[in-house]
Amino acid sequence: MQPNPQRFLNSLHQLRSIGAVGKGVVRPAYTDKDIEARKWLAAQFAEAGLTPYFDPVGNLFGLAGDGPSLLMGSHSDTQPEGGWLDGAYGVMVALEIARAAKEAGGPDISVVSFQDEEGRYGVTTGSTVWAGGRSLEEADTLTASDGTSYAEGRAKMADLVSGDFLDPARFTGFIEAHIEQGPYLDTSGEHVGVVTSIVGIRDMRITLTGQSNHAGTTPMHLRRDAFQGLSEFNQRLNDRLRNVVLPETVWTIGHVSVHPNGSSIVPGRVMFSMQWRDGDSGRLAAMEAIIRETVAEVAEDRGLEVEFGQLLGLEPVAMDPRLQQALAHAAEAEAPGKWRRMPSGALHDTTSVARHMPAAMLFVPSINGVSHNFDEDTREEDLVVGLNVLARAVAAL
Amino acid sequence: MQPNPQRFLNSLHQLRSIGAVGKGVVRPAYTDKDIEARKWLAAQFAEAGLTPYFDPVGNLFGLAGDGPSLLMGSHSDTQPEGGWLDGAYGVMVALEIARAAKEAGGPDISVVSFQDEEGRYGVTTGSTVWAGGRSLEEADTLTASDGTSYAEGRAKMADLVSGDFLDPARFTGFIEAHIEQGPYLDTSGEHVGVVTSIVGIRDMRITLTGQSNHAGTTPMHLRRDAFQGLSEFNQRLNDRLRNVVLPETVWTIGHVSVHPNGSSIVPGRVMFSMQWRDGDSGRLAAMEAIIRETVAEVAEDRGLEVEFGQLLGLEPVAMDPRLQQALAHAAEAEAPGKWRRMPSGALHDTTSVARHMPAAMLFVPSINGVSHNFDEDTREEDLVVGLNVLARAVAAL
C-alpha cells in the first residue's frame, strides 16, 4: 500500500481552515465550527468509499464495509485555543491510510473522529461513553464552564446522529497517531515514538469558601481569604508531592475562579481544578490522599470550608504488545535509529478504546514540546514519516 | 441643642425604603433609585429650613443661610448590593443635627450627600470633582463596568443640577459620620470611634506571562506556569511584608484572572490586582518597592515576564486636631470609657474635602464588621450614641 503524502497534507490543511485563528484553531466540541468540521469529514469519508456514521454523542466513524476492520483515528475537536495538529493529525493520517488501503486492495481500515476528546464536558467524553466507561444518562448531566450541559451540547448535533452506538466488537484493533505534545522527541531529534503506555489521570474541582469582605477595613488576622487558602495549599502541596513522585509525574492547577473578584474585596470563595497524572495507580492514589489532607489542613488553619467535587479519572493503560511491535518494526525501517519507545503523558481516546480491543499509539514530534496553544507545530517531514510508519505497520499486520 | 433620636431613626428608615432589597439597599450612583432618594432628601432639607442645591455632578447640598457654616454629611449612593447604613447614616445624622441646631438657635449647619462615593465611575468621584482632585472634563470620560460614561451618568440628573460648583470656602469645616465597616468597635464593645487619619491606598494590576502548555506532557521542570508564579510571589510577599507593616496595615489580591483557565492546560498568563493600604506614605512606598522586587525575582526564577499596570493611589489624610478633640471630648461625655481613637481603613469623601477645610470623622460600630453586603447593620443604641456625640461636639465648637 502506498500512501500519498501530498494528498494527506492537503486534506490536513483543509481541516485546519475550519475554525482557523492565526496559526491555531478554535473548534471546541459541539460548537458550530466543530460541527462544520465533522460534516466536512463525513463528506471526505464518503468520497474515500467509507460509510459515514454519527453515533448518539457525535463520534463520527467512516466504516469500511460490514465485516471486521482495523479502526484508526483520533479527534477533530480542539481546546478553546487549540493547535492545528492535536487530534487532527491522527484523523487525517488515518483517512489517508484508509484511502491507500482501498487503492491497494489492502485490509479494511475504518476511521474515527471521537467527540469532545478535549474534555469540554469532562475527560474524553465521546470515546468514554462509546466504550461504556460512563453511561449516557450520567454524561448528560456533566456541565461545561459556560454552564451548558452535555445533553444540551450533543443536542446541537441532533439532526446528524443515529440512535444507536456501534458495537466495538466489529473492530479488530485500534491505532491512534498523535503529536507528542511534549518535548522529548523534538529535543532528541527523533522522528517517531512508539507508545508503551498511557499515564493515568485524576481531576477534581475543589472549592474553598471563606468570607468576602472590605479590603480596607478587615484586619489581616480576621480575614477568611479564600485566595490565600489556595495559594498556601499550592505551596504546601508542591513541597509534599516532591517526596512521592517520579520525574515524569505532573500535577496542575489550570483553572482558578475567584469570587467576587474585585480589587477592593477580600475573596470569599475560590474554585479551582486540581489535576495529576502518573503511570502507576498506586501513586495516583497516594497523591490524592496528600491533596485531600493538605486542603483540609489549610482550610482548618484558615477557617475555610472545603468542598471536593467529583473525582474524574482514568487508569493507566498498557499498549497492545503485538501492535506495538508492528509499529516498532516499521519505525526502525522508516527512521533507523531515530525513534524511541516512550510513555504518553497525555490522555488519549486510546485509553477508552483499549477496554474493548488491542490498541496502540504512534507519536510524531512537537516543536519545542508546545501544544494546546496556537503555536503548536510539527515539521512536515515528521508528519510524513509518521504516515509512512503507520502504512508499513498496518500492511504487515 | 437637643437632637431627636426618634425623628432621626424615622428619617433613616424612610431613606432605607428607597431601593430596599431584603435587609439591604440597591441605589448605585445615577440609577433611578439613587435619583429618587436625592429628590426625597432635597425635600427633607427644604422642610428643615435648608436650601437644596444640586451641583453639576449631582452632589446635593442643604445650605444653612448665605454666611459661613459647618458642613456635615456623607453619601446616599450605595454599592450594587449595598448595606442600609453605608453613607446613609452620615447624611441622616447630619440632617438631624441641622434640624436640632435650627430649633435651638444654634450654629448654622449645612448638609451634603455626595454623589458616587462608591465609585461606580472611579473612586469617590462626586467629592473628588467638587474638591478639584480631578477635572470635570477628565471625569466625564470615566466608565462604569456596564460601559456607560460618567458624562452619561450625570446627564440623568440634568433637570435637577445647577451650572456651578459651590465655593468650598463658604464652609468652615466638615464632619462625616459613618459606620466603621470593620470589626474593631464591635469586637471591643465600644460605641464610637474618633478617626485619627484615613489610610492611603495603592492599587496596581500585575501580569505574569509564561507559556500555556499541555498539562500532561510538559514536565514540571520545563513549565513556565504563570499561576505557580503568582502563588509563589504571594507566599514570599506575605513573609517579607510582615517585617515592615503595622497590625492595621492591609494588602489584598482580590482579582485573579488566569489564562486560558482550563484544567488540562498549564496557565500561560495570570493578571491580578495588588492593593495595599496604610496610614503612612513612607510605608506605602516601602511596600511598593518590596512588591515590585518580589514579583521581579519570582519572574526571573521561573522564566516569566512581568508587566506592571498603572499605580493608582490616594495619600493618607490626617484629621483636623481641633475637630478631632471636640469629638473626643463629646465621646467621653456620652460614652465614658467606651470609645477609641482609630484610623479609617476605608476611603471616604472626607479624603477629598480635607483638601479645602478642617475635616474629621466619627465611626459607629458595624455588627461583625460586615459592610458592602445586605447583612450590614448597627445596633440602634449605637446609631443614637453617634448622634448625641456629634450634637455635643458641634455645640462645643
DSSP B206: E
Q: How does pLDDT run across A62-96, given as a tens digit for each residue?
A: 999 889 999 999 999 999 999 999 999 999 999 99
Nearest CA in chain A to B218: A182
Q: How does pLDDT run across B96-115, given as a tens digit for each residue?
A: 999 999 999 999 999 999 99
Nearest to A369 among B217, B257, B258 (CB): B217
- pLDDT at B164 (0 to 100): 96
Nearest to A183 among B222, B234, B267 (CB): B222
Percent of chain A surpassing pLDDT 70: 100
pLDDT category of residue A314 using cuts at 50, 70 and 90: confident
Compute the nearest-CA separation of B18 from chain A (Å): 24
Per the document, the length of chain B is: 397
Q: What is the DSSP string of B336-369?
A: TT-EEEEEESS--HHHHHTTTS-EEEEEE--GGG
- pLDDT at B343 (0 to 100): 93
pLDDT category of residue B12 using cuts at 50, 70 and 90: very high
* Closest by CA position to B119, among listed B129, B110, B106: B129
Distance from C-alpha of B360 to C-alpha of B197, rounded to nearest angstrom: 8
* Closest by CA position to A394, among listed A135, A78, A160, A101: A101
Q: How does pLDDT run across A29-61, given as a tens digit for each residue?
A: 999 999 999 999 999 999 999 999 999 999 999
- pLDDT at A370 (0 to 100): 86
Distance from C-alpha of B165 to C-alpha of B49, rounded to nearest angstrom: 21
CB pairs under 8 A between A and B: 205
**Amino acid letter for position B209:** T
* Closest by CA position to A287, among listed A311, A258, A269: A311
List CB contacts of A337: < 8 A, sequence separation 6 or more.
none
Q: What is the DSSP string of A272-292?
A: EEEEEEES-HHHHHHHHHHHH
Distance from C-alpha of A55 to C-alpha of A115, rounded to nearest angstrom: 10
Nine-digit cell at B356?
479645602
Kindly list the residues from chain B whose CB atom is less than 8 angstroms away from the CB atom of residue A346.
Answer: 214, 216-217
Q: How does pLDDT run across B196-233, given as a tens digit for each residue?
A: 999 999 999 999 999 988 899 899 999 999 999 999 99
Compute the nearest-CA separation of A290 from chain B (Å): 18
pLDDT category of residue A313 using cuts at 50, 70 and 90: confident
CB contact under 8 A, B216 and A250: yes
Distance from C-alpha of A310 to C-alpha of A253, rounded to nearest angstrom: 16
Residues 334 to 353 of B: which have CB under 8 A from any A CB? 344-347
Distance from C-alpha of B317 to C-alpha of B280, rounded to nearest angstrom: 9
Report the mean per-residue pLDDT for chain B.
96
Residues 47 to 66 of B: which have CB under 8 A from any A CB? none
- pLDDT at B310 (0 to 100): 86
Percent of chain A surpassing pLDDT 90: 91
* CB B60 within 8 Å of CB B123: no
Residue B26 confidence (pLDDT) above 90: yes
Distance from C-alpha of B141 to C-alpha of A315, rounded to nearest angstrom: 57
The reply to whether B241 touches chain A by the CB within 8 Å rule is no
Q: What is the mean pLDDT of residues B63-76?
A: 96
Distance from C-alpha of A218 to C-alpha of A199, rounded to nearest angstrom: 46
- pLDDT at A371 (0 to 100): 86
The reply to whether A26 touches chain B by the CB within 8 Å rule is no
φ/ψ of residue A204, rounded to 5: -150, 140
Instruction: List B271's β-bridge partners, or say none.
Output: B207, B257
Distance from C-alpha of B144 to C-alpha of B348, rounded to nearest angstrom: 19
Q: What is the mean pLDDT of residues B302-331?
A: 95
Residue A192 confidence (pLDDT) above 90: yes
Distance from C-alpha of A185 to C-alpha of A202, rounded to nearest angstrom: 25
Q: How does pLDDT run across B326-374, given as a tens digit for each residue?
A: 999 999 999 999 999 999 999 999 999 999 999 999 999 999 998 888 9
**Amino acid letter for position A266:** V
Q: Is B140 exposed, middle or buried (0-12, 13-18, 19+ CB in 10 A)?
A: middle
- pLDDT at B213 (0 to 100): 86
pLDDT category of residue A264 using cuts at 50, 70 and 90: confident
* CB B299 within 8 Å of CB B283: no
The reply to whether B46 touches chain A by the CB within 8 Å rule is no
CB contact under 8 A, A346 and B216: yes
- pLDDT at B383 (0 to 100): 98
Q: Which SS3 state, helix, strand or coil, does residue A9 take?
A: helix
* Closest by CA position to A206, among listed A313, A311, A309: A309
**Amino acid letter for position B376:** E
Compute the nearest-CA separation of A107 from chain B (Å): 33
pTM for the structure as a whole:
0.79
Residue A347 confidence (pLDDT) above 90: no
Mutation target for A interface from B213, B275, B368: give the one with most A CBs within 10 A.
B213
Nearest to B256 among A145, A234, A258 (CB): A258
Residues 165 to 224 of A: which have CB under 8 A from any B CB? 180-183, 199, 201, 203, 205, 212-222
Distance from C-alpha of B331 to C-alpha of B327, rounded to nearest angstrom: 6
Lowest mean pLDDT among A300-304, B14-18, B120-124, B184-188: B120-124
b/e sequence B259-289, b meaning 16+ C-beta within 10 Å: bbbbbbbbbbbbbbbbbbbbbeeebbebbbe
pLDDT category of residue B145 using cuts at 50, 70 and 90: confident
Nine-digit cell at B143?
466608565
**Amino acid letter for position B233:** F
**What sign does the dihedral A336-A342-A347-A353 (CA atoms) show?**
positive
Place of cell 460605641: B191
Distance from C-alpha of B211 to C-alpha of B222, rounded to nearest angstrom: 10
pLDDT category of residue B264 using cuts at 50, 70 and 90: confident
